[in-house]
Each structure stands twice: as structure tokens, then as C-alpha cells.
Chains A and B, each alone.
Chain A
């Protein structure tokens, strides 16, 4: 008997007379969250990532400020202009290690946990690109921010590889103290685009009638 047949036969024997699987009790499908973008910005910053909020027409300027002249790689289809950056031409890991920074777009932002998800689609590049350079500048649009994990999972396509990022890389392996900066990018800058309030030069934390249906879960 092959290992496959034997393992499956053991499973069937173990389950002889087992009860039928239980129904799954309901969990809330979305916690209403007011001021979604404020919550998102606050929770990202909790992980000691840098959060920059700006209007659509300020993105390129904010990216340049965050990069501060670092040698930068970008996905070839990044929708923003980054002067001096080299587009990814399939660099090896060693070549990527020589570059200091990377700029990517994102797929989803999660307010409740301060997480940004890349599905490595448009503007996000392959996985290695946003991993090896030490500074990651991540641009998230307001309409990509959802309330919680269930909304994010529902938006994402499992067929695509995904990277869920909550702050810079960190470890708690030494006496369970959190230390930021191990193997992944040690610095993370999240540029959050599209708040009318900030666009008018007002203070942060305005009322978020921000774009997208995601805020109304």
C-alpha cells in the first residue's frame, strides 16, 4: 500500500463512528469602525513604523522625502515617479542586497490590526523585491483600507502569493522583549493617500468620510 493510501485508510479507520462535524457558530462579519483611516494610521504607528498621510498629488514628494536619496528599486509598473530609482529587471538576491530601499503599492490595509497586505500584483513587484532592501516605503490608498481581518480575507485572492506586513521585522526571542529590525526591512514607511482633511492642510484625525465602501461594514 502506498503511503497515501495507508494514511487515508488510517484516517478513515480513526473516524469510524465519529460524530458529524459541528456547525460553525456565527462571528460578526465586520466591526463598525468609525474613523477608519485614523485607526489604521494609529495602529501602524504602534508597531514603530512611520506613517505619512497625504493627498494624491503629494505622493511622489512624500516618497522622495522618505527615501532621502537612498539607492532605490521599484516595480516596473509602480504608478508613481521615483527619480533615480532603478526598475526591477529580475535582480538576484545578492544584487537586491546592494540596494537600500524599495517603494511599492499595496493591495489591502487593515485598520484594526495596522496591517498592510501585498498580493504582489500591480505596482507591488515580486516577493523578494520588498524583502531584501532595508527600507520599505509602502503606499496605501484610502479606499484600500478595510476595518478588520475578515474584510481583508474576503477581498484577497488565495491564488496570489501574499505578504501581510505589520510593522518592521521584529523579534521577541530574547527574554520576550520586542526588538524591531531583524531580517526583513528594518524601517517601514507607510504613505497613506487620500484624506480630504489632510489635503486641505488641516490637522490629522479629521472625520473620515473616506473613499470606498469598505468603511461601511
Chain B
């Protein structure tokens, strides 16, 4: 029932398929254009926006560069407030912890608040394998889950779907898993949202166990924060008896007061609003109000690997606003699926290699190249992650990870070094080149500006010559010409 990114092809081939989908490109251009305009308008209202960005970056760095003591402090505050704290080295361990809490309460379903961390660890798939249904309750996540589809945006995972497609998914699938969509459903967004309200309400009202992530975890007060719009978060955080929150260790902020900076940066960067409709904060258990059993799973799953990367560790500042996706010329054209991960776009192009390491997976290694390095992402980032610099550093890491190699480029470079190494060898190569030039000059139909013959495709460098013309080698080398004409005098 749940789709997976496992086995996705590397970015260039995935992108080629996406670019051929004109419906997808239309949906994306419309959606990213809308959100860019909204963000620009509300950011312009704040005259100290740059100071806020600097403060946000520094606050996150203060937590990250002192992460061991901040995590211990967070654990103490949470425990003092009545929460049970778990630690998870990796996805498997985190999934097992959540599943065991659900099993302890004998439930066969949980309701979920939209959470990147639980998507990253494949929690829904794990729970499904244990016979526990995980209902996504965010509207876009519901669209993705019912459509047996993959998320393509951090904030709006169904950004690649238009209203007509959403209507079709609701009509086809809602009845199988609960209250059916109204038979006369149209594709008006208001009606679609209402169908989701009715479908999910029965699940909220009966749920015993909820699973969430957290946007922020405050070390000094043990407070978790969930920022949302629809109220599905409030439903999950308030009505069930048991709440399990899976929180990446990079979500820590030092103090309660620091939230003032992030609660200004996040909504304006994310949905382009002065403030999102609902923000919930809670510190452990409140007697008589909300879940009376509260678990927090502190998740590593590659974050410490990213933290060890001196250039890349700044990616852990990310507050998952998705502003970098919306301004990226590459993302706008390929969409999120081509990145093969729950973290798409510019931030995904650095976060995935940082979390998972380079040199072992062709798909991951392709991501640092999924960028034109234009820098729009850095400008939009509310916590000033210098994504282009990290991309360049990761490209170097990818190259290093594949050295020494017998790739065609390496062989060609070695051959070039050998022939340039001595005049005699170069002379031999030039004579050979002249023969090739003489032969291919007659078959090359294409002409470069200036009239020189060119080859549009050669069999051994197809990827390179697909979009570039290769000049045909001259029949006579410079040295041969010099010798024949006595330096041009005869």
C-alpha cells in the first residue's frame, strides 16, 4: 500500500522522465510560482529579516556545536515533565520503538501528524508489516497515501497533483479505508478539503495512539513544537491517550525564548504566511489535558555522520521550510520524485549524501550534481545554509570516493598525460589524429560556426556528445604544417 523510493534511478535519468511529463511541469510551475509570490510579500514586511536569518543560523549552530550536552539537557527536561525518552541509532531501531509502544496498547492503527523524520525511516511500511495501519492525516499526505504515490515536496507532498487528479484519487480510494468520498464530489478545493475532513474525523475521534514528529525540541524546557495548518496536528496531539514523537537530534534549540526567532522565520519562509494557523507546544504530560502517556524517540540515522562533515554540518540547521525547493530552477522543472528521497530539492541534494555517505550508492552520488549552482536556495534559506558551497564540496567527495577508477575519463586523462609526456609520442599521436580527421571529415555532415566539420555523436562519449558537437580533428597537425612550410615561409 505504501510506495517506496528504494531502487530509484540516479537523478539524470529520473529527471529525464520527469521533464517529459508536461502535466507535472504545469502543476509545478503553477504551485511554485504561487508560493514564491506569497513568500516574497510577507518577507518584505519584516524589515529585520536579514538579522533574523543571522540569528536563526547562529542559534542552530549553538545547539549543533554543543549537541551532546544539549541532548542530555533535553532528555532531563523531558523526563522531568513526565515523558519517556528513547534513543535510536538508526531507522530500524526507531521503527521498532514506535511499533512496540503501539503493540503495548494493543492497537491495530495509529493516526499520524505529517512528519519528515517518520517518512525518512519508513515508519508506515514497518508498522504495516506488523499489522498496524498508520493513517496519514495531513491533507497532502492523505492524497499521497491514498494515491499509493510518493511525496514530492517537503511542505506540500502532493504538489505534483492537481485538483482533478485529487478528486479522482478520493473517489477511487477513500471507501476502501474508511468513510467514502461524497458521490457528487467536484474538484473544488473547498469540497475536496471537506471530504478529507469527514473521512479523517472518525479516525481522529477513535484513535488511541498518535505518532508525530516535531519542528523544534527545546532543551531547557523539554518542550516539543509542531507547526501546522489544518488542525490534524492538534487532533493527533490532543485526543489520543498515547503520543509518540520521533525527533531528529538536530531539532534541538537551546532555550524557550529562541523560539521567537524560528516562529518568525518558519511560517513566512514555508507557506508564505505571517503565521501558520496552528502551532502546538507541549512539555511532557499535562494532567487532565491531552495524552497521558508521552514518548519521545531521539533519532540519529545519519545525523552524526552529517555533523562530522565540517562543510556539510550546516545542513543540520534546516527547519524543513522548503523555501529552497520553491525557488530552485531545477526543482521547478523536474519535481521532487527525481531526487529519489523524501528530502527533494536543493536541501535534499545535500542532505541525502550527508546522511547516507557518498561512494556506495549511485543514486545518492548523483544528487550533488542536480544543481546549476545558481545560489537562489542560499538566498531564500531562513537559516542561511550555503547549499551551493556544500554541493561543490560534496562533488569533490563523490569524485574522491570513486578514485582510482577505470572510468573512460580517467583512461583518457592517463593517455593524454602519456602522449604529452614526450615530443616523439605526441608526434605519433598527431599523425594518427590526422588520419582520423581525414576519414571523419568526409562523413561529418555538421558544421561548426566558421565552417569547420563537426561530429554530432561519437560512440565512445555518447553522454558528452549528445548535447555538444565534437570538432573533427584537423588533417594536419601544427608541427607537421611547420615542417612542411618551413614555419610558413615557403
Interchain CB contact (< 8 A) of A169 among B30, B278, B282: B278
Q: Is the CB of A131 within 8 A of B234?
A: yes
Complex Cα distance A66/B289, Å?
27
A153 at the interface (CB under 8 A from B): yes
Decide: A183 near B274, CB < 8 A? Known: A24-B59, A93-B239.
Answer: no
Q: Which of A42-70 contact B (CB under 8 A)?
A: 43, 46-47
* Cβ–Cβ < 8 Å partners of A154 in chain B: 257, 260
* Cβ–Cβ < 8 Å partners of A170 in chain B: 229-230, 277
A207 at the interface (CB under 8 A from B): no
Decide: A169 near B260, CB < 8 A? Known: A13-B308, A128-B239, A158-B221.
Answer: no
B89 at the interface (CB under 8 A from A): yes
* Cβ–Cβ < 8 Å partners of B257 in chain A: 150, 153-154
Q: Is the CB of B261 within 8 A of A27?
A: yes
Q: Is the CB of A113 within 8 A of B275?
A: yes
Decide: A179 near B193, CB < 8 A? Known: A11-B71, A25-B58.
Answer: yes
* Cβ–Cβ < 8 Å partners of B71 in chain A: 7-8, 11
Q: Is the CB of A183 within 8 A of B263?
A: no
Q: How far is the CB of A212 from chain B (nearest CB, A)?
A: 19
Q: How far is the CB of B113 from chain A (nearest CB, A)?
A: 11
* Cβ–Cβ < 8 Å partners of B310 in chain A: 18
A162 at the interface (CB under 8 A from B): yes
Q: Is the CB of B193 within 8 A of A181?
A: yes
Decide: A11 near B274, CB < 8 A? Known: A161-B286, A163-B234.
Answer: no
Q: Is the CB of A175 within 8 A of B286?
A: no
Interchain CB contact (< 8 A) of A7 among B51, B89, B259, B308: B89
Complex Cα distance A165/B93, Å?
35
Decide: A115 near B68, CB < 8 A? Known: A22-B61, A153-B263.
Answer: no
* Cβ–Cβ < 8 Å partners of A112 in chain B: 274
* Cβ–Cβ < 8 Å partners of A209 in chain B: none
How many residues of A are counted as interface, with CB atoms below 8 angstroms from the partner's CB atoms? 74
B232 at the interface (CB under 8 A from A): yes
* Cβ–Cβ < 8 Å partners of B264 in chain A: 148-149
Q: Is the CB of A183 within 8 A of B68?
A: no
Complex Cα distance A160/B281, Å?
8
Q: B38's closest neighbor in chain A, by CB? A: A176
Q: B264's closest neighbor in chain A, by CB? A: A149
How many residues of B are counted as interface, with CB atoms below 8 angstroms from the partner's CB atoms? 94
Q: Is the CB of B234 within 8 A of A183?
A: yes
* Cβ–Cβ < 8 Å partners of A172 in chain B: 35, 156, 229, 271
Q: Is the CB of A159 within 8 A of B230?
A: no
Q: How far is the CB of B135 from chain A (nearest CB, A)?
A: 13
B interface footprint on A139-167 (CB within 8 Å = 1, 0 otherwise): 00000000011101110001111111111
Q: Is the CB of A24 within 8 A of B58?
A: yes
Q: A2's closest neighbor in chain B, by CB? A: B87
Q: Is the CB of A182 within 8 A of B263?
A: no
Q: Is the CB of B88 within 8 A of A3?
A: yes
Decide: A27 near B189, CB < 8 A? Known: A22-B62, A149-B264.
Answer: no
Decide: A127 near B223, CB < 8 A? Known: A3-B87, A4-B87, A173-B140.
Answer: no
Complex Cα distance A182/B232, Å?
8
Q: Is the CB of B289 within 8 A of A161?
A: yes
Complex Cα distance A185/B218, Å?
28
Q: Which of A68-111 contact B (CB under 8 A)?
A: 90, 93-94, 97, 110
Q: A134's closest neighbor in chain B, by CB? A: B197
Q: Is the CB of B238 within 8 A of A131?
A: yes
Complex Cα distance A94/B239, Å?
10
Q: Is the CB of A159 within 8 A of B234?
A: no
Q: How far is the CB of B128 from chain A (nearest CB, A)?
A: 23
Interchain CB contact (< 8 A) of B205 among A26, A93, A120: A93
Q: Is the CB of B273 within 8 A of A166?
A: yes
Q: Is the CB of B289 within 8 A of A120?
A: yes
Interchain CB contact (< 8 A) of B200 among A14, A21, A183: A183
Q: Is the CB of A177 within 8 A of B48?
A: no
Complex Cα distance A10/B27, Å?
42
Q: Is the CB of B52 within 8 A of A27?
A: yes
Q: A112's closest neighbor in chain B, by CB? A: B274
Interchain CB contact (< 8 A) of B275 among A120, A164, A181: A164
Q: Which of B100-108, B158-166, B442-450 contacts A (4 or more CB under 8 A)?
A: B158-166
Q: Is the CB of B189 within 8 A of A174?
A: yes
Q: Is the CB of A126 within 8 A of B189?
A: no
Decide: A127 near B31, CB < 8 A? Known: A14-B307, A115-B275, A174-B193.
Answer: no
Q: Is the CB of B162 within 8 A of A175?
A: yes
* Cβ–Cβ < 8 Å partners of B89 in chain A: 3, 6-7
* Cβ–Cβ < 8 Å partners of A15 in chain B: 65, 67-68, 307-308
Q: Is the CB of A24 within 8 A of B35?
A: no
Which of B47, B239, B249, B261 counts the most A-chain CB atoms under 10 A from its CB? B239
Complex Cα distance A4/B297, Å?
11
* Cβ–Cβ < 8 Å partners of B34 in chain A: 175-177
Interchain CB contact (< 8 A) of B201 among A10, A19, A97, A171: A97
Q: Which of B25-43 contact A (CB under 8 A)?
A: 27, 30-31, 34-35
Q: B200's closest neighbor in chain A, by CB? A: A183
Q: Is the CB of A184 within 8 A of B139?
A: no
* Cβ–Cβ < 8 Å partners of A113 in chain B: 274-275
Decide: A161 near B263, CB < 8 A? Known: A172-B156, A175-B189.
Answer: no
**8 further contact pairs, Cβ within 8 A, besides A110-B275, A164-B278:** A3-B89, A154-B257, A159-B283, A161-B286, A174-B139, A182-B139, A182-B232, A183-B197
Q: Could you write out 22 A-B pairs with CB less than 8 Å apart?
A: A11-B304, A14-B304, A14-B305, A15-B307, A21-B61, A22-B58, A120-B286, A128-B238, A158-B221, A161-B281, A162-B279, A162-B282, A163-B234, A163-B278, A166-B276, A167-B277, A173-B143, A175-B27, A179-B189, A182-B139, A183-B235, A184-B231
The 10 closest A-B pairs by CB, nearest first: A184-B231, A183-B231, A14-B308, A158-B221, A10-B304, A164-B279, A182-B230, A169-B231, A173-B140, A113-B275
